[in-house]
Chain A
Amino acid sequence: MATPTRVKQQALQAKHDALEARLAAMTMPAGGGWIVSARNAALTRLRETGLPHKRDEYWKYTDPATLVQPEPVQAALFDDDGEAPVFGEIDRVKLVFVDGVFDSDKSDDPSLAGVEIERLEEASTRDLHWARDLYGTLEARGQSPVRRPLATLNTAFATDGVLIRVTGRAAKPVSLVYLHRSETSDAILHHCIKVEAGAELTVLENGPAAARFNKVMEVDVAEGGTFHHVRAQGRDHERRAATHIFAQVAREATFKSFTLTANGVLTRNEVVVEFTGDDAVAHVAGACLGDGDFHHDDTVFVTHDAERCESRQVFKKVLRNGAIGVFQGKILVQPGAQKTDGYQISQSLLLDEDSQFLAKPELEIYADDVACSHGSTSGAIDEEGLFYLRSRGIPEGPATDLMVLAFLAEAIEEIDDEKIADDITSRLEAWLARRR
């Protein structure tokens, strides 16, 4: 019989074995400059932790094996049947990556008043102080109290990404488009975004990116700055992704992030937000639609270490045909973070009895004058409501869709820009209509 300590040791060994196996299959990107020391530091940190293992508490509901293993699982390319591209109608500066490699021909000229945009691959040899100070820094800080080794792996091995510094009000969004063209691609991208005091930027992301995608986005929003993020992860059924957003939100700054996930065999989206100044706002929201072989995990950690900050986590999942949804969300209120306003809701709508929602909502509060609430529910379509709609002449299919959209509404409302919100809603409607 294996004793508990034996089991623990074995799991630890497995994490390190997994790391060595992965490292053996990778080479650190060439090039010098400031990034080399950041990469090496990450590698050192990684060697202390190893890679995630299903016996890790933080991976209790999601088996990281296919995200960790040396080679990605092959993922068939997806035929979107000529669907209009996501955000296609939005006036934006488009930067395109194909299987994780920047494609300048497909991209727009990256010039935008008040915004400096650089490629990670090119910028690392240049003397960009702000990027040097940011790259890997928020990721490293986000390793406590919970380890996130896939993000550390990313810092060490990212092949490309964008570095964006905003000093004014960006006239249009920067749109990162991730195309998937190879069934075996394994993309690692790392973006750094610095929103200077009072500046404003929206970043859009869409697409599957690769068979396997590991992405980190570090966002530093300075005093009074505003950062909006809206992403639509690709519809490829077989794609896998592990993404991390690390955000630092200063005094009176705003950080808002929304993610739509429809399809994808495995997705783990981690968002780590830390308030570093008073009176700031951070909203993190997600809507996901899963049908069949679909496992989607939202893992969110918000730390209040300042006064009068407002945080919201709104996550809604629609699941059918055995799809699995996971939510791990935490609000940590540090001593002294008085007048914190924390809200967290995670809900699933199960369209049949085969689907599953696993939720671990957590509040950890060390300040006495705070207002925090959280709720998590899982339920079926409200039959009374459905009958009411049908009794007015709306057929069962569209009536069900209306109910599903109503369920998702609270998450969609987190998108401030009406045009972008409409685009996302139209994706939801199309997804539902295809399944009628």
Chain B
Amino acid sequence: MLDIKNLHVKLEEEDKEILKGVDLSVEAGKVHAIMGPNGSGKSTLSYVLSGRDGYEVTEGSATLEGADILSMEPEERAAAGLFLAFQYPVEIPGVGNMTFLRTAVNAQRKARGEDEISAGDFLKLVREKAKDLRMDQDMLKRPVNVGFSGGEKKRNEILQMAILQPRMCILDETDSGLDVDAMKLVSQGVNALRDAGRSFLVITHYQRLLDHIVPDVVHIMSGGRIVQTGGPELARQVEEEGYGHLNEETA
């Protein structure tokens, strides 16, 4: 599904390399988790994959089902099936959540040569997904993320994911800011989407999330590289021991 090879990324504005040769392959139907110390480059990887400005790829490649996504516009990547649940979802005053969702759904459909969704079907879809996430109608009417609590913003990300049905879902610290119940709801939302044709890359600091969304593979990122890869037990090891052992190994 997603293949990242020797990806080197520096900041556009300054001569600072942040990703220093990332190698990562997420197979179709699998859930991969990335853990790693603050500042190790996890969010940068997710931004570069989704096409945010400000970064320069100096080496390496990233493909989604064989297509070079790094040469695409952000909207093309989305239409190709990539989705990033932001670590810090953006507030957009004046743009209603519903308008935003409908515009996004229809833009993606158009890009794929499909017809627009009918107003009725769209409403039904949103109501159903919102109910699963216990988001009330009032939140749907408000401007995108404006006045949402931290946890509500994260839920709104998952709502978008549930509606857009992307094939490659990247979740950047979706668990931070969620209370225990919300974490369960969000995990249920993610698990409901798990199927053979869809993959997840879950960035998190905590084992707690991975108790609910059980990963197939766990990676540790440090200093702009994947330095360790293992099974779910690796996450438990991090939870108990922290990242202290990395320094000896990578030094």
Contact = CB atoms under 8 A, between A and B. Distances in A.
A396 B73 contact: yes
A393 B92 contact: no
A390 B78 contact: yes
A14 interface: no
A393 B53 contact: no
A402 B143 CA distance: 12
Contact of A394 (B75, B84, B91, B143): B75
B103 A394 contact: yes
Contacts of A382: 92
A406 B73 contact: no
Nearest to A410: B94
A385 B92 contact: yes
Given A393-B79, A402-B95, A388 B73 contact: no
A384 interface: yes
B108 interface: yes
B191 interface: no
B134 interface: no
B59 to A, nearest CB: 24
B87 interface: no
B160 interface: yes
A48 B103 CA distance: 58
Interface string A405-429: 1111110000000000000000000
Nearest to A384: B90
A85 interface: no
A316 to B, nearest CB: 10
Contacts of A387: 51-53, 74, 90
Nearest to B105: A393
A375 interface: no
A391 interface: yes
Interface in B54-113: 73-75, 77-79, 83-84, 86, 89-95, 99-100, 103-104, 107-108, 111
B50 interface: yes
Contact of A393 (B86, B91, B95, B108): B108
B78 A393 contact: yes
A198 to B, nearest CB: 34
B95 A403 contact: yes
A394 B95 contact: no
Nearest to A413: B94
B53 A392 contact: no
A340 B53 CA distance: 47
Interface string B30-59: 000000000000000000001111000000
Interface string A125-142: 000000000000000000
A395 B104 CA distance: 9
B18 interface: no
A398 interface: yes
A405 B93 CA distance: 10
B103 A388 contact: no
B9 interface: no
B94 A388 contact: no
B73 A395 contact: yes
Residue of B95, B99, B143 ringed by the most chain A CB atoms within 10 A: B95
B182 to A, nearest CB: 21
Contacts, number: 82
A183 B104 CA distance: 45
A389 interface: yes
Contact of B104 (A392, A396, A405, A410): A392
A384 B90 CA distance: 7
Nearest to B79: A393
Given A384-B90, A398-B107, A390 B75 contact: yes
A408 to B, nearest CB: 8
Contacts of A79: none
B52 A405 contact: no
A390 B74 contact: yes
A402 B103 contact: yes
A285 to B, nearest CB: 15
B160 A406 contact: no
A408 B90 CA distance: 19
A388 to B, nearest CB: 4
Given A395-B107, A398-B107, A402-B99, A390 B94 contact: no
B143 A398 contact: no
Contacts of A405: 94-95
A391 B107 contact: no
B92 A392 contact: no
A383 interface: yes
B229 to A, nearest CB: 27
A394 B73 contact: no
Contacts of B86: 388
A392 B78 contact: yes
Contact of B90 (A388, A393, A394): A388
A383 B94 contact: no
A428 to B, nearest CB: 12
A402 B164 CA distance: 19
A402 to B, nearest CB: 5
Contacts of A385: 90-92, 95
Contacts of B90: 384-385, 387-388
A230 B237 CA distance: 66
A391 B51 contact: yes
B91 to A, nearest CB: 8
A393 B111 contact: yes
A379 to B, nearest CB: 12
A393 B72 CA distance: 12
Given A395-B107, A398-B103, A389 B92 contact: yes
Residue of B50, B74, B77, B104 ringed by the most chain A CB atoms within 10 A: B74
14 contacts: A384-B90, A385-B95, A389-B103, A390-B51, A391-B50, A391-B78, A393-B79, A393-B108, A394-B104, A398-B107, A402-B95, A402-B100, A406-B95, A407-B94
Q: Which 6 A-B pairs have the closest CB atoms?
A: A406-B94, A393-B78, A393-B108, A390-B74, A392-B104, A409-B94
Given A393-B78, A393-B108, 16 more contacts: A382-B92, A385-B95, A387-B90, A388-B144, A390-B51, A391-B51, A391-B52, A391-B74, A392-B83, A392-B108, A393-B104, A394-B75, A394-B103, A395-B107, A409-B93, A410-B94
